[in-house]
Chain A
Amino acid sequence: MFSLILPPARRYSILIGFWLALSLFAGITLGAILSLWASPTLMTLGLIAVPVLALPGLLWPQVANLPYEVWNKLAREFGRYSRAWLMAICFYVIVVAVGRSGSSLRLARPDSGQSLWVRRQDPSGARNGFDRVVAVDESSKSWIRNFLKWSARSSNLWACGVLPFLVLISALDPEQDNTVPKDIYTLF
């Protein structure tokens, strides 16, 4: 899913693109609100507002610098709180509900002298946890497809219920394809 964070680089073209996008979104939203509250014909007013709003950013792209920064900060904060909310839903709603059906893990205290070591079932080795789940089919670039394949193959169909939340969390990830690794230096 597409990230909600804007690219870190602020090239003129990106600033213009941002300003146009914001103008378009503001114009359409304004038109929709006016058409709902007053008259449907006022939708055109919102559309007329789009080029008017877009003009400053087209003429002076640098005016978009501050709004760009503020918008990205808001997006990051929104992403941070939303991820926490989604995680809470997963843990306190889905996992709790699924937990009612019992567990295949032995969670009770063992008898004296009895080992809790379990023979390893999955020989596919090198990867762990979520990486192992989404890398079921190396040829597929879609982690969602791999996740579905894993849940079907391993009889964990219940995990499909978590999938929409994982998709949303990934879309709210601030690191997703938009940020430059920290402490990297460019190529000299």
Chain B
Amino acid sequence: MTSIRSVLALIASLAGLLLAAPIVVLGLPFWAVAWLTKRITGLLEPEIVLWDQLIRFDPTFGWKPKANLNTHCVSELGGEVFHVTTDSEGWPGASTIDESSITVFGDSFAFGYGVNAEALFSEVNPKLLVKAIGAPGYNMVQEVMWMDRLSSHLRGKLVVWFIYVGNDLYENLQPNMQDYRTPFVRRAGSSGEWQIVTSHLSSSRWWPYHVNDKLRSAQRFAAIFGTSFLSERVYSACEFLIRKGNNICARAGASLAVITIPIINQLSLNDWKQRMSELGYPESLDLNQPDRKIAEICSPLGVRFVAGKDHLNARHFIPADGHWNEKGHQRIADLLAELHQQRHPTTRNDVNPELRLSHAQKRPAGTFQWGTD
């Protein structure tokens, strides 16, 4: 029966191929153009690595950028190929932390993901030396741990902490970032005090993660922009971390400022409503909640707070990817310069922060000025 079946299949297959011939003929232009596009693009672009080849395992922090990188990278979601360089410690930018007046801690925004290394906010103002300490995928826990590790280098500096509201706040509570193990915070014991957990860190994959997980985007949004038990945990953990970062800076003789980084949909109320509607999320989600909550955390601690939403607009972002483009990095460089000048006024005009911040679209509600604390 097997041989009869094989013969029948062969005959039917040949007949089927005749029927399929028009598909091959009609499809040829599509295949040819797709193949040629890929080949020509390969010739036009430098060799590209994906983000996971920019980092290496670190037993304390989960991962950190590789040292002395000089490569090109591209986001899977969009944007142009960008040049990535790191120093001997693995951080972006040419200056050292000791040379810098401002040290920035953050995630991929601080790392400069999405733009050429030369266009990074720390590199575009030669008059102001800024050192960025950041890596793709970092949460606030890793950032505060780096603050602690580098505290002996922070004396007299302005420390700026970038908090990306899109995922940092939520991922502070997560033991993994995709399939990488990451430090996180949890409440411990009967006192319920927050503590940083690193005991699960290793180079092995975080096994429960699956690439098809939707990264809990609905839960993330509800926790960051809504009111729930999870939301309370998110902002309580955030307060713990900002308080810890402020204590580290105070002990080191540095002053801390927090800049929140909005998601692109937060920049316009119409865009926000449309996006929430597309995702099927409730209208009750408040796009101003992260800035309001973080401002409330910073205020009693005397930490300077700047709502990035009030200084950025959609033109500062790479649309499909969501990171800053070159204009965005330039805007952040200007903002850092303004913060620095407010802290160290050199001319009469510089004393007036209202004047210096007049470039912004409007003054953020929760912004604290130098000298008010």
Binding site for B on A (CB under 8 A): 2-14, 16-18, 20-22, 24-25, 29, 71, 74-75, 78-79, 82, 85-86, 89-90, 93-94, 96-98, 100-102, 155, 157-162, 164-165, 168, 171-172, 180-181, 183-188
Contact = CB atoms under 8 A, between A and B. Distances in A.
Contact of A161 (B2, B4, B10, B320): B10
A8 B40 CA distance: 16
Contacts of A3: 34
A180 B215 CA distance: 14
| Minimum-distance CB pairs A-B, first 8 | A161-B13, A21-B36, A97-B12, A161-B9, A158-B9, A17-B41, A17-B40, A4-B30
A86 B20 contact: yes
A81 to B, nearest CB: 9
A24 B1 CA distance: 51
Contact of A10 (B4, B40, B78): B78
Contact of B322 (A18, A71, A158, A188): A188
What secondary structure prevails in chain B residues at the interface with A? helix
Contacts of B37: 6-7, 14, 17-18, 21
Given A100-B8, A181-B211, A186 B17 contact: no
Given A4-B31, A162-B13, A12 B107 contact: no
Contacts of B8: 97-98, 100-101, 158
Interface of B: 1-2, 4-6, 8-13, 15-17, 19-20, 23-24, 26-27, 29-41, 44-45, 51, 74-81, 107-109, 113, 136-137, 164, 166-168, 178, 211-212, 214-215, 217, 320-323
A159 B6 CA distance: 8
Contacts of A102: 1, 5
Contacts of A86: 20, 23
A85 B20 contact: yes
Contacts of B40: 16-17, 20-21
A78 B27 contact: yes
A188 B45 contact: no
Contact of A71 (B1, B20, B33, B45): B33
B314 to A, nearest CB: 16
B78 A94 contact: no
A155 B75 CA distance: 46
A129 B55 CA distance: 37
Given A3-B34, A7-B37, A93-B12, 11 more contacts: A2-B31, A5-B34, A16-B41, A17-B36, A21-B32, A74-B30, A158-B8, A158-B9, A165-B20, A180-B77, A187-B51
